[in-house]
Amino acid sequence: MKKFWLILFSLFFLAFSACNSENHKISNGETATIVFYGIFDNEEVFAPIIENFESKNPEVKVIYKKFNDPEKYLDQIINEIAEGEGPDIFMLHNSWFPKHYKKLYPVPEEILTVDSFSDQYAKVAVDDLVFPDQEGIERIWGIPIYIDTLALYFNKNHFE
């Protein structure tokens, strides 16, 4: 099933970019916590990225929580968002975005523009993640963690 998933790393880029800015450093010695929900991937997959980020930002702690059931995962995220809580960073299947993107915050244009996103990512990512906001302006609503495409290899001599 993972083979057909385009898992989107919504807000991961945004949160980590924003926390890395000098303007967002915590000056009173407190530690900020970023809650990160993922589906199917064990913590070991993201541990090197999280450790690298935390070493550069010692005032920020990242907590990863893994889910295995897509239906329960989506329901929990939707319920937590409705309650004004929920994770800071989470993954969504590309097919979930058209129905739920209005519940999210778009990536600020100061971080990534639609044109820049179109230049850096495959067209399928643009098709799946760029939607108009309430004013009709095209915005980026998520960042792909990977794109899984199918490929067919064949031996031409055997095929003919």
The mean pLDDT of 127-145, rounded to a whole number, is 92
For the stretch 104-116, pLDDT in tens is 889 999 999 999 9
CA distances from 2 to 64, 91, 96 (A): 19, 13, 15
Please give the mean pLDDT across all residues of the chain: 81
Weakest mean pLDDT among 11-15, 16-20, 22-26, 93-97: 11-15
Q: For 2-159, CATH number?
A: 3.40.190
pTM of the model as a whole:
0.68
Q: Which residue spans within 53-127 are E strands per DSSP?
A: 60-67, 89-93
Q: What letter does residue 121 receive in the DSSP assignment?
A: S
> Does position 37 have pLDDT exceeding 60, yes or no?
yes
Closest CA to 89 of 4, 8, 10: 10
